[in-house]
Amino acid sequence: MNPPNTENLSNIDIVVYALYVLGGWRERIHTEDIALKCFEIAPSRFSWVKYPKYPDNHTAYLSLGDAKKQKYGALVKGESERKRESQRIGGWKLTPQGVEWVESNKRRIESSLGTHATLGERLDTDRKLRELLKSRAYSKFLKNAESADISHAEFAESLVCTVNTSSEILNDRLEQIFSIAKKTRNEDVKRYVSFCQKKFENVLR
């Protein structure tokens, strides 16, 4: 295993990779968790200047902001938790193009870091996908495809939600499921997500 060498990695490389390792391809991750992981990966780049033993949230936050910009590929979405109302979603998550970017650059980044991400915990945290696979709505879709007669309640239940769940959370759950399906190459689940986005367009607005 090669020793870590972050000189040829940008801050965006590191912050997006850190988000990926923390599971940001399936759910939103808190800014401070990302900052800590960046500090573990590249302590000299993501630490305080005067007290280098502490992780610098601000550097991680600025790098996430850059990774969010269209000119850098719109690799992540999200914002600081402090900007959010108490009942709204904060944190950061990889966009579909961000997941593709990581898959394309993972070998290069890990070669520089001399390590490989441990994602074995993935199976334990993919509860939403497992709930979807055994749901009534998904069973109907597998049987009847685009002509499946799925109710709003069945759709919400397949995402571990209710009919009262906000459109923001429903959209976020669909994106989580799609990211997982894309990563695991589950074409049926990807088609189900696309089907639901069309059928329940009014609910998801």
pLDDT band, very low/low/confident/very high, at 129 (cuts 50, 70, 90): confident
CA distances from 133 to 11, 96, 120, 149, 203 (A): 37, 21, 20, 17, 22
Does residue 136 have a pLDDT over 50?
yes
CA 17 and chain centroid, separation: 11
Write down the mean pLDDT value for the chain: 85
- Residue 109: both structure tokens together: 């980044």
Buried b (16+ CB within 10 A) or exposed e, 79-109: bebeeeeeeebbbbbbbeebbebbeeeeeeb
Q: Given this model, what pLDDT does residue 84 score?
A: 57
The answer to whether 115 and 5 are in contact (CB under 8 A) is no
Closest CA to 192 of 136, 125, 126: 136
pLDDT band, very low/low/confident/very high, at 36 (cuts 50, 70, 90): very high
Does residue 181 have a pLDDT over 50?
yes
What is the maximum alpha-carbon separation in the chain?
Answer: 63
Q: Given this model, what pLDDT does residue 35 score?
A: 95
pLDDT band, very low/low/confident/very high, at 1 (cuts 50, 70, 90): very low
Angle between the N-to-C axes of helices 167-184 and 187-199, in degrees from 0 to 180, rounded to the nearest 10: 160
Domains of the chain: 11-113 (1.10.10), 126-204 (no CATH)
In this structure, how many other beta carbons lie within 10 angstroms of the beta carbon of residue 144? 11
Does residue 87 have a pLDDT over 60?
no
- Evaluate the CA torsion angle 139, 142, 148, 150 in order and state its sign: positive
pTM of the model: 0.60
Q: Please tell me the distance from the alpha carbon of residue 197 to that of residue 38, in angstroms, as a whole number.
A: 34
